Structure 1
Amino acid sequence: MTGVPASAAGGASGARRAAAGAASTASAPSGKVPGAAVGRAAARSADGAVPSGAGDRASAGVDQGGAGGTEGPEGAAVDGDGKPARGGKIAAAAVNQASVWNIANLLTMLRLLLVPAFVALMLADGGYDPAWRSLAWAAFAVAMITDLFDGHLARTYNLVTDFGKIADPIADKAIMGAALICLSALGDLPWWVTGVILGRELGITLLRFLVIRYGVIPASRGGKLKTLTQGVAVGMYVLALTGWLATLRWWVMAVAVVLTVVTGLDYVKQAIVLRRRGIAERKAALEEKEA
């Protein structure tokens, strides 16, 4: 039998394999084409040789897109025409969505809405009716409870947004400030107590912004205890208490005022240390760069 040249045999064999690959491509359902078979058939030359890496690259181009698609510039799947695939568009939207309307921000918004409601209830009927004061206390209690949960939910479930960073501290200061001002206006709480608490809160907030370039002043345990004590004391003053409970609320408020002053001074100390450390680190970095 006459020998067949190797190149011819290879070409025929390559042609048959390419034809087989094309046939399998045509017969396979849409989106079910095996990536490896298509890559090898497309990359195979006339003499049956496969250029190095060509089949792998062709296979990868099919396989990355899943069922007959490829991967777009943002990681979203696109079909053969370059249009976003239906499933890829939905997945990309779900991943990239950063909605303000999450549960943590909704709680913050609720607390903001409770501020005018609390003031209206607090001052209703002259501000001394026990029934209205009880409703005002309920609004204040709900606001304080939401304050405990919105930050925790935002950090736990990655719901932190720019809106939440701004609105949360505003809501905290607004409900506490409204309660203190109403109590002082009604004569239930001395104005100097309101001035000390609000002055400290606003001053520390401003101080945090002033030293933010050097670092963040973390919330201390004393600060959290202060917030809790303030909430309990103000809540007791909002209620129309008499007898020994009225005496008890005075002592609770005294503890809150002391914690307010002590923790405020501690934050000032932390800010000074943080600023000095930041300046020293910057100076050292400049000297090292110049050297």
Structure 2
Amino acid sequence: MPPGEYRNLINHQHLEYNPNLQYMTPKSDIDNDGLQYMTPKRDTDSDGQNIFYPPDASPPIRSRTYLDVDRQAALKTLYGYLDAENADQTEPGYHEPNSGKAKLYTAVDSDQPGQPWQPYWRKLTSFTRAAEGLRGRWQEQLQELQTEIGFEHIRFHGIFADEMMIYQTDLKGNVSYNWTYVDNLLDNFLKVGIKPFVELGFMPADLSRSEETVFWWKANISPPNDIVRWKGLVDAFIRHCINRYGLNEIESWYFEVWNEPELTNVYWAGTQEEYFDFYKETVLTVKAI
């Protein structure tokens, strides 16, 4: 093996180690499934690049997920499905919208037995994170989406993320809650006729046990440093929603405890047993209200 290279046997990658930047860049890292992966990822540098550590650094074992796919490399597979005029391009380009020259027709044989048409796709849509839903332009787009399609529920990350400014502790350790941004977000959902699918997470910095994060907006994935205070946050949040929107409305929402905790060191920085306890305590807190 040439000096300066490491072989990642799990992901079938050649990684070139840069001692100055302390990260490795993949070389010919096409996996057996045809997708290009950027694993094993442990952290990001100031430019947002995936950081790869040499074997003796002992990075934590983490699951390989869709977050590790090199999206630009993955898109190259899709270019072959473009029309003949654009099939040979290697990078995304701009395409004029359909000018009306091509038309698509659907033939229906009315003599054949049919079945009820169920718009199952209206059950759920999703977006990235709670704070993004506070933007005026985003809210305009949601309004248009509801006018055109009319989804029933909407799922998102980060209702408890620091950028929602919900959870604060003072110098004496006293906890206070601020629901201003939460109210803005949920009020708008109900205004346009869509119900929240609430993911209870991620961890506020003041309540986090450690500093592991995911995504560029640094969602903290650690267990709480105090399960009693976590339960207090969940209890206060649910009670606030009931007081503001009514129990009948809240009972039509969906709730889940965290996001994909089964992905090791991706969305949950604790052990599996810790998540089981975390889940139990959270659910019991909600059901006790």
User: TM-score range with shorter-chain normalisation?
Assistant: under 0.3
Which one has the largest radius of gyration? Answer: 1
| More strand by percentage | 2
Q: Under a length normalisation based on structure 1, what TM-score does the superposition of the two structures give?
A: 0.23
| More helix by percentage | 1
